[in-house]
A and B are shown apart, each in its own frame.
Chain A
Amino acid sequence: MEIIVLLKQVPATESMIAITGDGKSIQTDNIKWVMNPYDEFAVEEALQIKKAPGGRVTVISAGGDRCAEVLRTALAMGADSAVLVNDPAVENCDGIGIARILASAVKDIPYDLIIAGMRAVDDDNYVVGAAVAEFLQIPHMSMVIKEEIRDGVIRCHSTVEGGTLVTEAPLPALFTCQRGLNEPRYPSLPGIMKAKKKKIEIKSLADMGLDAGAVEAKSEITGMKLPPERKAGKMIAGDSAQVKAAELVKLLRKEAKVI
């Protein structure tokens, strides 16, 4: 089984996010960069699927030099090879543009299965996995918490509001990972040592026959702001739980008018 995993490097969720002077992007100094948490599930699932029938796991990321770190982490977890699409044009892409780039990067690599995160926790887009599948003309399933592959057919359990949806498709296919799919492993020490020796293949858009025009963004962030600060409200005083509860219910009815 040839498996490709799409990986993004993102700020750790506990990072403080500040906006740059031009108001269009975030300040990148003082940020701890990590593998997108949903992509950790993708690497783990790929390694588990590979274990059974044998095969290769290739990890791919599109981004600047710094993104080599997440590829290195995935190699240390046990991935076999890594590709970094490193091109200045990547920075200005929207999700659809990134998907176009990744779909091109995948074309030269044989694959039965592609795995992505359901969303990246920086842009919260939920876009790239499904769009890659569309560009490659393969079926996809989103927000998967369980999958089984049998006789060239993948069956996935996807989370939807109020339950799960089970669908099937022949390989090659793509699915995106939801929390609950697995418990990602930590890189082992020997894994880290081995990963250091592995080479990360670097590609530019030109190497894949794409020019910047082909991936020009159609949606552009023209401004960023911090959400209105929630001010601390009233602490409700009272001698007993009953008194406080009565006061709360009165405020919710008369002042906030929500019940």
Chain B
Amino acid sequence: MSQNILVITEQRDGVFRKISFEALSEGKRIAQLMGNGLSAVVLGDGVEETAGETAKYGADKILVADDPALKEYTVEAYVSVIAAAAEQENPPVIILGASAQGKDLSARLAARLNAALAVDCTEIRMENGTLHATRPMYGGKILADVTLKGSPQIVTLRPNAMEISESAGAGQVEKMAVNPGELRMKFVEKEMESGKMELTEADIIVSGGRGMGGADYSLLEELAQTLGAAVGASRSAVDEGWRPHSDQVGQTGKTVSPGLYIACGISGAIQHLAGMSSSKVIVAVNKDEDAPIFSKADYGIAGDLFEVVPAITAEIKKLS
């Protein structure tokens, strides 16, 4: 019997997050390998119209849970709606993004459904009819192959690790009855830094470390703006109070996999590498030609970042 794969999408203020398209694309690929269809779950308030967008990435069925109680994310309400969707659809596999929300949801969902779970996967594949996942452990020092058993099997996908591909799905919309039950958790407010690009979703990251010498990151910000990049930092820069903790890349900060990572004035400590070594291309700018970062970089420039960074910005500006 062929049941649909279930992808739990994530939207904020009515706009899908990029990870949702990554999860749908990957869900479609796995569904096709299994000979199954793809169902997308969209939760929110007033999201019925937005929900249709999932058909572009292969959703055959779109389950819309539209309710004022789902306007803002709280794990309690969301898990009960998703558990109800899982009960209805009986999916062999449930896929979420490994965003803050997806990580939070998937753990509670797996416990509720008594399901196998592999989080923050960088690859999923079918082998002899069972799902296998590859996921980094020990801060990326190890890649583990995980075999999942039983049904459903839940995986969360690391943001930026999978391709987005469009494919037509039937996109049949079905409204879900929403009964979140009596809720104990309450949303109070969210405080968003406006206009700031999220590191884990960025295609290009320009990061600065202790070599920046102070809180003035304007050189990096200009380069980032020229490239359409996000700005990151090493822990030393965060500990100095130059940058907020949310900018920290590394073992105790964010794990990022951009297409291009430019490390400026960062020595390349193992805990920093843990957060960025899965970047596709790494560039290092450091005045110490023996800095360990150079042994991990695809391109290295030995030099003073205060001269090199503005020169790179100027060169890129020439391109447009």
Question: Could you list which residues of chain A lie within 8 angstroms of chain B, going by C-beta atoms?
Answer: 11, 13-14, 17, 19, 26, 37, 94-96, 99, 121-131, 133-135, 139-143, 145, 155, 158-170, 179-180, 218-227, 230, 232-236, 241-242, 244-246, 248-249, 251-253, 256, 258-259
A66 to B280, CA, bound (A): 39
Could you list 24 examples of A-B contacts with CB < 8 Å?
A: A14-B270, A14-B271, A96-B115, A121-B252, A125-B119, A126-B119, A134-B111, A139-B184, A141-B185, A159-B100, A163-B190, A163-B246, A218-B115, A219-B149, A222-B145, A222-B146, A223-B145, A224-B145, A230-B282, A234-B300, A245-B314, A248-B312, A258-B204, A259-B316
Question: Could you list which residues of chain B lie within 8 angstroms of chain A, going by C-beta atoms?
Answer: 17, 72-76, 79, 99-101, 103-104, 106-108, 110-112, 114-120, 132, 135-150, 184-193, 196, 198, 200-201, 204, 227, 245-246, 248, 251-253, 259-260, 270-271, 274, 277-278, 280-283, 289, 294-304, 307-308, 310-312, 314-316, 319
12 A-B pairs besides A94-B117, A96-B115, A159-B100 with CB distance below 8 A are A161-B198, A165-B72, A166-B190, A227-B142, A233-B297, A233-B300, A242-B315, A244-B311, A249-B319, A252-B260, A256-B260, A258-B204
- Contacting residues, chain B, for A134 (C-beta < 8 A): 79, 107-108, 111-112
State whether A124 and B300 are in contact (beta carbons under 8 Å apart), knowing that A134-B108, A218-B150 are contacts in the complex: no
State whether A218 and B204 are in contact (beta carbons under 8 Å apart), knowing that A165-B73, A167-B185 are contacts in the complex: no
> Chain A nearest CB: distance from B280 CB in Å?
7
Residue of chain B at shortest CB distance from A246: B315
The 5 A-B pairs at the shortest CB distance, nearest first, are namely: A245-B311, A218-B116, A130-B107, A163-B192, A233-B298
> Chain A nearest CB: distance from B199 CB in Å?
8
Name the one of A162, A218, A233 contacting B299, with C-beta atoms under 8 angstroms.
A233
State whether A259 and B303 are in contact (beta carbons under 8 Å apart), knowing that A13-B139, A219-B117 are contacts in the complex: no
